Every structure is written in C-alpha cells, then in structure tokens.
Amino acid sequence: QGSGNGLIIFGSGHKVLSNTVIGAGGNGMFCDSRPVPTAAGEGGVGQHYEGNTFYNVGLTGMHIYHRHTTTPVTLAYNTVVNAKKFIDTIPGVVLSQKGNRELSV
C-alpha cells in the first residue's frame, strides 16, 4: 500500500486511457486543470478519462478538480473497487459520465 495518489494529471485536453492502479494510499487519480487560465474565457478543453481501474485506494477513486474548462470532463467505463468514495469534485466541475462502475468486494 502506497501513501500517495496513483495518477496525477495536470492541464487540459489530455486523454487518460486504460490504466490500472492498485493500493494507492491517497486517491486513485487526482486531476486538476492547473495552471489556472489568466484571462476570462481562456479555459482549456476538458479531460477524457476512459477504461481506467482503481483497486483498494485509500481515499477517492477519481478526484476531479477541472473547473477551468470549456467542455465537460468525460468519465467513461472506469471502475473503482474498494475506495472510501467513488468520485469527488469541487464546485464548478462539469462531468459527462457513461458506464462507470463502483464495486466493493
């Protein structure tokens, strides 16, 4: 069991596909739109997270902080097994979800 996050992704417009994280002590995936855009309307394109699996993470399966984007953050067909919380966001985050699963075994 590690003590940190499994995946950490900063920025916008990335596609994060088909990763497996086992035993992260923090979040399975921590995502943030930093650096924060400096001008109004300058937000980046939302991230796309698909087909990722997170097993036995200490906190949240997917912790999403992308609030400075011009399109929704897509979460598709991700699986979280044995986490304290499935998905966590902050105010202003817009999600598009399809086929995500939360399991406890």
Q: What is the pLDDT of residues 13-51, one digit of tens each?
A: 889 999 999 999 999 999 987 766 555 555 667 789 999
Asked whether the whole model's pTM tops 0.85, one would answer: yes
DSSP calls for 42-102? --BPPPEEES-EEES-SSEEEEEE--SBSSPEEEES-EEES-SEEEEE-TT--EEEES-EE
